Structure 1
């Protein structure tokens, strides 16, 4: 197995581990804190962005493996449809080599296909569990639950893709810093304007006194 297919297999094992972690019967409080961390962590947001690029490359590998399986299948069909001479030539090492290429191509196709399919299942499972947590929070709120969990419930209700809230908070902090910088610049310009106004008024008073 080549290096990139070994990485695809490692990613598939990691996806299986994450899926098992999502479906574990954890307590409601622990699960809510876990999902709040996933939704607010900027590290998870960066990881998700990198995984999107990785899945694009895996999709390219999947298409290539499908193409290889199709070509090997055509080659085997040509052996079967040929005459006696073609069948005799196909009995030896050539046929074994074609069968080996067919096996590796099918293995790569299944590996990439299952990795892509499991990524879709993980995304859908995350959304469904998040929706269940929101509904449980709403039920507890309607039943007169503790008010201490209202803040966490509101944060959970705002959660979307993993790391989305963390990314938005980072952008908001950047905007706030820009606004503070603009305020300081405006204050500096206002001081300069007042100083220039005072200088102009002072020169005007001096000129009036000289005329008198």
Structure 2
């Protein structure tokens, strides 16, 4: 595996770990701290620029892998087509290569396409998950405050209504 694909694979593993931590049922204080940290990182302009740059590089790698995984083969090479004297040059993926080499190249390009596509998709899923969890943590905090207030009212009001 090339160095850039090892970096993509490492990023994918990191994203999967982050997503696992985000969706785990953690105690409220731990989840609140973790989600707030992730949300503040997403609001940092330098982190935003880095994420956009990384996503654009991954997008270009994905498009390149897609282009090489699904080569455009001219109609003249499809089975059942009549042979003609104007046959275009052999596609670069097939030129001078055995069938096993063609299959290996296709496997590698498909692997690269799945890795980069999965990394892009998981990055988008993490972004929206952090936004969703931020609102959930905020609403959970409101619920906790409301239950504390209602418990205090229950404790205070019965004492006022007692008749001696």
1:151-208 deviation per Cα after TM superposition (whole angstroms, max 9, x unaligned) = xxxxxxxxxxxxxxxxxxxxxxxxxxxxxxxxxxxxxxxxxxxxxxxxxxxxxxxxxx
Residues 64 and 41 (structure 1), Cα distance of their counterparts in 2 relative to 1, 3 Å cut: closer
Residues 32 and 118 (structure 1), Cα distance of their counterparts in 2 relative to 1, 3 Å cut: same
Rg larger in structure: 1
**TM-score of the pair, normalised by structure 1:** 0.55
Deviation of the 1:103 alpha carbon:
0.8
SS at match of 2:148: coil
- Does structure 2 retain, via aligned residues, the 8 Å contact 1:69–1:106? yes
**TM-score of the pair, normalised by structure 2:** 0.70
Residues 101 and 78 (structure 1), Cα distance of their counterparts in 2 relative to 1, 3 Å cut: farther
Residues 104 and 14 (structure 1), Cα distance of their counterparts in 2 relative to 1, 3 Å cut: same
Segments of structure 2 that go 5 or more residues without pairing to the other structure are 83-93, 150-164
Residues 82 and 106 (structure 1), Cα distance of their counterparts in 2 relative to 1, 3 Å cut: farther
Hey, which of these two has a bigger chunk of helix by percent? Answer: 1
Segments of structure 1 that go 5 or more residues without pairing to the other structure are 84-89, 146-212
Aligned residues: 136
Deviation of the 1:81 alpha carbon:
5.3
Matches within 5 A, 1:117-156: 117-145=121-149
Deviation of the 1:122 alpha carbon:
0.6
- Does structure 2 retain, via aligned residues, the 8 Å contact 1:38–1:44? no
Match of 1:116 among 99, 117, 120: 120
